[in-house]
Structures are given as C-alpha cells and as structure tokens.
Structure 1
Amino acid sequence: MQHLASCSELLILKLGLCSSISDEGLVYISSNCGKLVELDLYRCSAITDDGLAAVASGCKKIRMLNLCYCTQITDAGLKHVSALEELTNLELRCLVRITGIGITSIAIGCTSLIELDLKRCYSVDDAGLWALSRYSQNLRQLTISYCQVTGLGLCHLLGSLRCLQDVKMVHLSWVSIEGFEMALRAACERLKKLKLLGGLRSVLSTELLQMLQACGCRVRWVDKPLVYKG
C-alpha cells in the first residue's frame, strides 16, 4: 500500500480477491487516491463499515464501486457510501447483512445511480424498493434476484422507474404469478432485457408475453423451478 503514496493521479483501482486488504488499507487509499473514479473491492472480506467511511471521506469522485461478497458490510456502511454523490454503478451482491434501511440511504444519497446489483441480498425488502422508486429515477439496470420483496413492491418499482430497461429478478419467492404479471405490465413498454425463472413462461399470460416481444424486450429464462412462499 505504501506505493500508493506516489499514485495521487490514480483513477481506477482493482483489488478484487485481495483478502488481505483491510480497513487500514482503505484509510491509506482514501488519503492518497482522492481522484479515484472506480474502486473494485470484490471479495475483500476483511473490510468493514469503518473502511467504507474512510473511502467515502477521501474518495468523493468515485463513480463505480464493487463491494460484492464483502460480507461484513452492514447498513451503517451503506450510509457512508451514500455520501458518494457521483456514484453511478454500485455492486452489492451477497451482502447478507444489509436491509431496506441501507438501500434507502443509497437511494436518497446517490441519485445519479444507473446500475445497482442486489443479488442475494436476502434481507432487502419492499422498503428498499419503495426508496428506489422514489429517489433513483436514473436507474437503467437493476438486479434484485433472491431479495425478499413482494408483488406490491415490485409493481411499484417497475411502474415508477421511467429509465429502467434491464431487470434481473430470479427467485423472488414472495412474488405471486399475479404480482409478476402486474409488475411486468406496468413496465413492458420500457423494458429491453429481463431475466426470469423459466417456470414463469408457462403461467404468465400469452398477452403479456406477446406485449414484451412486440416492445422488443429480450427475456432470458433461467431453467430452475418456480417457488412461491406467499
């Protein structure tokens, strides 16, 4: 990390799979790399909310941030991230400790967000979706597979985000067939890409599927069983 002292002009830093990177390292980065626009911390499992506080304080120009599988991060960490007002791309895959509270912080603070990945954020619920619906009007690409959302939250989200074009929503086991039907109808004219469970293909209305096709939406069907817990 001491080599970063001479890298004050650094714009992109990729540290994915560096399990030895700690909060101390992030403090050093924040002190020496204030011009960073992209930071990749994929599977840097040692970092915590304190490290994100340092990043948000010293690297305010970050537009792309990858925190996938940084499993110690909580809603408090996302509160720090929400100070990054220029953030456009945020990857939070498998952050099992975050909830709708953290997503609300992100939605309110990071209104320039274009892409958001919440796959396997198991505790993210409708509260997070409602916040995104209200504040994240620039979102174009969203992954919410395996999140704990309902048909009501999904319908409100897809009906509210006017720029949304690409949605991945596999294994939303709290969303009924009717919930999927209503949500997709609310957005079918805008959607360009979808990722859905293959089991939905035979139960969604023919009319809806034809509407999606007519609007130029490409659907990727994932060959896994349909599960509904409601």
Structure 2
Amino acid sequence: MSSKTRTRRNNTNWNGVLQDLFGEAFTCTKEYRTNEPDYFILSKKDPDHNGESAQDSSSGIVSTTASTFKGSCSSSESLLDSRYSEWSSTSNNTSFHGKSVPTHKNQPPQPTYNNSTLRDFHSSAVGMDFLNTKFQQINLEDTGKLILGIKKNKIHYRPTPFKHLSDDIIVKIFSNLTTDELCKCSRVCKLWYRLSWDPTLWTSLVLNDTTHNVDRALKSLTKRLSYNTPTVCVIIEKINLNGCENLTDKGLHTIAKRCPELRHIELQSCINITNPALFELVSNCVNLEHLNVSGCSNITCISLADSILARASVNYLRQIYLLYLDMSDCNMLDDDGLQILSMHCTRLQFLYLRRCNLITDIGIQYVANNCSELKDLSISDCYNITDFGIMELSRMEPDLRYLSIAKCDKISDVGIRYISQYCSKLRYLNCRGCEAISDDSIELLARKCHRLRSLDLGKCDVTDKGLFMLARYSPNLKRLSVKSCLGITDRGIKLLAQHCLQMQQLNIQDCHLSVEAYRTVKRFCRHCIIEHTNPGFY
C-alpha cells in the first residue's frame, strides 16, 4: 500500500462522520498498537467538557458507553485488553457443533436514561443482545452444511376419492356438469384442468347467465377448444344461449365463423340479435338443423346472407336445411317474412309460430305450398287465421301429426272437417278456445283420425254427444281436456271412462260433475291423472 493511500486514510475525519450519524454528542478517538489493526473508540462527550452540558442533558445520557470500530491498519495488542477491562475474560466452554463458545459471566454496566425515547431504544437493544448471543452459537464457517441440514416441513394433504378413480370415470362425472361448472373445475388442480378440457365434454355449450359477457365468453371458449384447427372449433355441435340478453350480433358472428359443425342452437329471448347476424349463422353452419329464436323481437324472417344468394346459381344452393324452427313471439314476423322463410326452408318438419299476430291465411298458404314435409305446426294465438288457412294446410301430404290452433277463434267446424278428411295421421290436436267448434266436427274427427292420442277441447261447444263419439271411435285416446265445457255431464264422463281404458290425463276443471263421475274414472282408468276444481273429489 502506498504512503499516499495510508496518509489519506489517516486523515479521515471520523468525528465528523460519527456526528452526522449519531449526533454531536459522540466523538471518536484512534489508537495505534503494534501488530493490531486500528481501533476507533466511540464515546459520549463529557457533559462538563467544553461547556456542552446543556446539549448533553437534552439527549438524556448520563453515563458513558464506548464501542470500537476495527479498521484495516495494524496496531498493538494493548487495546484488546482495554476492550475487556470492564468484563471478566473468564468464560465457560459451551459446546455447540463440537466447538467451544466463550460466554461472559460479567455483563457490562447498564446505562441509565432520562429520555423515554432512548429508554425504548434500550429495551429493543436488549432483544438485539439476545439475538447476537444466539448468532454467536451458530457455526457460520460451514454454511453449506447448515443449509442442507435444515429439514423442510412437508405438507400432508388429505387424500381425495378422485385419486382412486381412473380418468375415464372422472370424465364421465364431469359430463353431468354445465359449461360454467366445467370452467370452475379446470381451476382446481392440474389433473382436473387436463380432464375438464376433454373434447368429449365440449360437444355442447350452455350459457344461460345474464350477468356474463356472452360475446367474450364465446370467443374465449371457441378459441380454447380449437385444438388442432386454430381458426375453427369442430367439436361443438350444440349451443344453448337461452335468456342471454347481452348476446349481440358479435357473438353470433363468432359462432358462425368458428363453429362450422353446429347442428343445434337455442337463442330464446336474445332480444339484441338482428337479421344479418342470423343470416350469416345459417349460411356458414350448413349442418344446422335446430334453430330456436323465440322471443327475438328483431327477427323478421330466415334467409341466407346476400353474398351467398349472389353466388347461388341453382335452387338447391339457396336452401337452408333446417328441420326444426321455433319463431314464437317474433312479433315482427309477417306474411312476407313467412314467404321468404318457406322458400329457403323447404325441409322443415317442425314449425312453431305461436303468438305471431301479423300472420294471416296468406302466410299459411306459403307454408303449405313450400314445406311439404311438415309434421308439427303450431299457430296458436294467431287470431287472424281463419278456416281458409286451415283448408290450405289440409292440402299438404298426410304427414301432419301435430296441430295447435288454440285461441284461433275464427276457426270453426269447417276447418276441423278439412283436417279430419285429409290429415289421417294426426295424433295431437289443440282446439282450446275455439268456441265455434262443436260436436259435429268432433264426430268426423273421431271417425277419420284413428291415431289420435291427445285432444284439447277446452272452452269448445262440446257436449256428451261429442264424448260418446270419442269413446266409440277413439278408444286409444290418452289425453283429453274438456275444461270449461259446460255441456259435459256425468253421463258423458262415465261413458268415456268405460271405453278409453288407456286414459292417462283428464282435465275436467270448471265442469259441473259429481263425485260419482270422478270415482268412475278412477275405477276404470287407474293410472289416469285427473285435473279438477271440485274439493269433494279427494
């Protein structure tokens, strides 16, 4: 080391450094000893020295303590003896890891404080002395062995029954969960994450929570389920979004773009979707067979997108291969929309147009001319339809099996005669609220429609004569409703019960019947559920 460096170190003003750190009440002295490093002694100034008693009294320190700072230069050994002049160097050999550690018997004098702040500092300093004593007992020379010798506390988890089940069984259990529940299960552990995203569990999506951002959820799920095809999701075949009022055209665009194998979709009461998004959906999802847009007030018709129609050169390229369509409560659907629908959806077998009040007989004529494979049709509460529309329906092929004309009060016996004459395969007929229908048409219906199984004649002008015809020609009848038919008496009900032994459900509410008629039905039709309003029937 050069003399300039040593001179620079010797000229260090330690008093200034210590006064900056600990205050002006502390000073530093330096002693040189042979073969020993430099020692710096930190001490408090004498209160009576240099007339600084006022400053010292403010600090609250009465007695004097000293601490040493070890430097890098050599000095004598005499200072080592002075460091322990106040303590006894005699110690007990305490064994720790095979080595003796000296412990001092005599403790240094405890200072007294007049200041509460310094008194609190001293109480904490006692804790620091305790920690220093503990650290002195640790062999810090071999830290590697010390770290390796620490035993980690192992966390023991209680075993779950799923550890004893195979992956196939767990996937089978997960198959009973909804889409939201599967997403929650994927966050439990790595095993459940892997099994919850099994492709067999995601052939259908069910999102019925109105609080979710459905558009964002559809985008995330379809992207996550695109395993080998990054742009499309071929495993989803069924989507249920009933009641999702937050669904917009953006969500339908995601489905149309990423779900080409979609076959079944439920969009009931999705009031924010419009025609262009729905047209894009049915154009891209060429395998779509089931579509439910009931309650979607902005939907006026079903057609292909304009870009598809512009490229279609032949008629079969303009077809939508839907089999099931529910447009109930679509208040904007009129005859023009029904014409477009029937032209593009010629393979329809199930069509439900409940409470579409703008539809008239002209729209029903379009359906009858284009949808020749129709089996189920519901036009209940369409009060503008008359017997002329029913006559157009009767010209269809004899495949109609389900017909509901409830509350179409303009339909009379004339329309029922056409149905009875040409729809021989009819199995269900709902005429509730059609007060113009009487026993005359019921007789022809019972004679011609031998496959009839369910009949609703509530509030119709039917008497015991009509029940007698049903009992004679329709013995296989299983469900019958004569609610509020005031012309029905005990005689007609008893005769019906004696012949229709397979009756499963009978509605006789608001009918003037006795307990004897009720008991007769229970005696002959033992499995029949009777709906009534007479408290004496129990």
TM-score after normalising by structure 1 = 0.88
Partner amino acid, structure 1, of 2:412: T
Q: 1:5 aligns with which of 303, 309, 313?
A: 303
Q: 1:62 aligns with which of 371, 374, 388?
A: 374
Give the match for residue 441 of structure 2: 128
Partners of 1:77 and 1:207 in 2: CA distance: 40
Give the match for residue 113 of structure 1: 426
Verify the 8 A CA contact 2:497 2:520 in the aligned structure 1.
no
Is 2:535 the counterpart of 1:217?
A: no
Partners of 1:130 and 1:62 in 2: CA distance: 26
The number of equivalent residue pairs is 221
Partner amino acid, structure 1, of 2:445: L
Partners of 1:134 and 1:113 in 2: CA distance: 12
Verify the 8 A CA contact 1:104 1:132 in the aligned structure 2.
yes
Partners of 1:29 and 1:145 in 2: CA distance: 32
Give the match for residue 456 of structure 2: 143
Deviation at 1:80, TM superposition (A): 0.8
* Percent of aligned positions that are identical: 25
Partners of 1:202 and 1:162 in 2: CA distance: 24
Partners of 1:44 and 1:223 in 2: CA distance: 36
Give the match for residue 473 of structure 2: 160
Partner amino acid, structure 1, of 2:469: H
Give the match for residue 91 of structure 1: 404
Give the match for residue 505 of structure 2: 193
Point out the structure with max Rg over C-alpha: 2
Higher relative CO (CA 8 A, sep ≥ 6), structure 1 or 2? Answer: 1
Q: Deviations over 1:74-107 (max 9, x none)?
A: 1111011112321111111101011111011111
Residues 114-123 or 191-200, more deviating: 191-200
What secondary structure does 1:178 align onto? helix
What secondary structure does 1:76 align onto? helix
Partners of 1:46 and 1:208 in 2: CA distance: 42
Q: Deviations over 1:121-176 (max 9, x none)?
A: 11111122012111111111111111101211221123211331111111111223
Residues 177-186 or 153-162, more deviating: 177-186
Partners of 1:31 and 1:208 in 2: CA distance: 48
What secondary structure does 1:152 align onto? helix
Q: 5+ residue gaps in structure 1?
A: 225-230
Give the match for residue 74 of structure 1: 386
Verify the 8 A CA contact 1:53 1:77 in the aligned structure 2.
yes
Residues 208 and 66 (structure 1 numbering): CA distance in 2 closer, same or farther, change over 3 Å?
closer
Is 2:359 the counterpart of 1:47?
A: yes
Partners of 2:521 and 2:335 in 1: CA distance: 49
Deviation at 1:44, TM superposition (A): 0.5
Partners of 1:172 and 1:70 in 2: CA distance: 22
Q: 5+ residue gaps in structure 2?
A: 1-274, 280-301, 305-318
Partner amino acid, structure 2, of 1:66: S
Moved over 6 A (4+): none
Residues 33 and 197 (structure 1 numbering): CA distance in 2 closer, same or farther, change over 3 Å?
same
Q: 2:337 aligns with which of 4, 25, 31?
A: 25
Verify the 8 A CA contact 1:101 1:127 in the aligned structure 2.
no
Partner amino acid, structure 1, of 2:466: G
What secondary structure does 1:5 align onto? coil
Q: Deviations over 1:39-59 (max 9, x none)?
A: 111000111111111100000
Verify the 8 A CA contact 2:475 2:499 in the aligned structure 1.
no
Residues 108-117 or 169-178, more deviating: 169-178
What secondary structure does 2:531 align onto? strand
Verify the 8 A CA contact 1:16 1:41 in the aligned structure 2.
yes
Partner amino acid, structure 1, of 2:350: E
Partners of 1:128 and 1:97 in 2: CA distance: 15
Residues 36-45 or 167-176, more deviating: 167-176
TM-score after normalising by structure 2 = 0.39
Partners of 2:520 and 2:503 in 1: CA distance: 16
Q: CA RMSD in A?
A: 2.0
Partners of 1:137 and 1:47 in 2: CA distance: 31
Verify the 8 A CA contact 2:502 2:525 in the aligned structure 1.
no
Partners of 1:165 and 1:83 in 2: CA distance: 27
What secondary structure does 1:179 align onto? helix
Verify the 8 A CA contact 1:114 1:138 in the aligned structure 2.
yes
Partners of 1:138 and 1:55 in 2: CA distance: 24
Partner amino acid, structure 2, of 1:5: S
Verify the 8 A CA contact 1:155 1:186 in the aligned structure 2.
no
Partner amino acid, structure 2, of 1:14: D
Partners of 1:211 and 1:25 in 2: CA distance: 50
